[in-house]
Amino acid sequence: ADLTTLVQASQSQGVKMVCWEEAGTSALINPHLLPHTQGTLVVIGPEGGLEDKEVREMQNAGFQVISLGSSILRFETAAVFILSLYHWSATRQKNQIGL
């Protein structure tokens, strides 16, 4: 699907994030602050990265730009990394509230 289709389809998502290798350390993802709501969408760009105009279009549609750190990860690795952070964060949250 193209970016316009993605942006249109994302309108019903509660939390929208886009991983961008040029986001810098100020946008570094914090696993302690990950939202645990239904309807979370995380976009990972293709090899070669996202273009500035693509990121701006997603920001205009309500996406939060996040960084996965200083290393540039392959698509597959980035996906596993994000899922692992969410799993860790959800497990930690459950343990804190005694579930």
* CATH code (residue 53): 3.40.1280.10
Q: Are 13 and 61 in contact (CB under 8 A)?
A: no
Torsion angle in degrees (nearest 10) through CA of 25, 27, 28, 34: 170
Q: Quick one: pLDDT at residue 98?
A: 57
Tens of pLDDT, residue by residue over 28-53, are 888 877 777 777 899 999 888 999 99
Q: What is the pTM of this model?
A: 0.83
Tens of pLDDT, residue by residue over 57-94, are 999 999 999 999 988 899 999 999 999 998 888 888 77
Q: How far apart (Å, rounded) are the C-alpha atoms in residues 43 and 99?
A: 30
**pLDDT at residue 55 is higher than 60:** yes
Type of residue at 2: D
* Domain count for the chain: 1
Residue 48's region, left for phi above 0, alpha for psi from -120 to 50, else beta, is: left
The Cβ-side half-sphere exposure at 62, using a 13 Å CA radius, reads 13
- For residue 68, what are the domain limits? 3-97
